């Protein structure tokens, strides 16, 4: 049996609408928009921009399939940030409370009733009620999309695995920034996907995930 067949079989087993949830990590204007702070600071965001459309299709499929959809938003606020965060990053400048930059991009805006986890760290489990929310609903599998694969989305994937969840990285719905160039951003992504696939869980493209969850309807 091929490796791809094994992944497909496992996805069919774990992508049950009563046990799986979809997490969309920090798709906020300051991270994703060309007018956002990350682009203005000189980060290459082309890979992040390219992830928006496949992520939108995945989001719509998850909604249509009746899956729990959760969004996250990182907020930078001096009174909420840890001392280590402030020592490293300095005064808050990105995704400030109530700002345009902190809002989700229009294409991936949370629908009414979809939970938004507000966080003051990279990972979505740190200092939030995400774990309680998932366990109270009997969720044991998380499909993760968003940015940055090796920072906020990565911390969330790794922490989810440590907490006992099955994790699925949606490959074309995960992306990296780079202060160098787009090729470097692609290499960072490849490294991040390698870590997930070999140490944490499954990696699958959105079309594959969509086919499976659509067949379950």
In which domain, by residue range, is 196 found?
A: 3-215
* pLDDT single digits (tens) 102-140: 999 999 999 999 999 999 999 999 999 999 999 999 999
- d(CA 132, CA 111) in angstroms, rounded, equals 21
Q: Which of 145, 135, 136 is nearest to 57 (CA)?
A: 145
pTM to 2 decimals?
A: 0.94
CATH number for position 103:
3.40.50.850
Cβ(172)–Cβ(54) under 8 Å? yes
- What's the domain count of the chain? 1
Q: Mean pLDDT across the stretch 173-188? A: 96
């Amino acid at each position: 049996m091929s490796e791809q067949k094994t992944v497909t079989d496992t996805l069919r087993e774990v992508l049950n609408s009563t046990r799986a949830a979809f997490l969309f990590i920090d798709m906020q204007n300051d991270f994703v928009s060309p007018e956002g702070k990350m682009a203005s600071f000189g980060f290459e965001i082309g890979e992040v921009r390219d992830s928006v459309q496949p992520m939108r299709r995945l989001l719509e499929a998850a909604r249509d399939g009746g899956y729990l959809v959760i969004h996250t938003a990182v907020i930078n606020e001096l009174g909420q940030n840890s001392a280590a965060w402030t020592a490293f990053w300095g005064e808050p400048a990105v995704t400030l409370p109530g700002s345009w930059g902190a809002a989700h991009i229009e294409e991936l805006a949370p629908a009414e009733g979809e939970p938004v986890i507000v966080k003051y760290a990279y990972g979505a489990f740190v200092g939030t009620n995400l774990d309680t929310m998932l366990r109270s609903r009997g969720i044991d599998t998380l499909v993760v999309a968003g940015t940055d694969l090796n920072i906020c989305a990565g911390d969330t994937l790794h922490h989810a695995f440590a907490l006992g969840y099955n994790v699925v990285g949606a490959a074309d719905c995960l992306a990296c920034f780079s202060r160098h160039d787009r090729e470097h951003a692609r290499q960072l992504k490849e490294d991040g996907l390698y870590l997930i696939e070999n140490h944490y869980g499954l990696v699958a493209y959105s079309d594959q995930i969509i086919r499976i969850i659509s067949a379950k309807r």
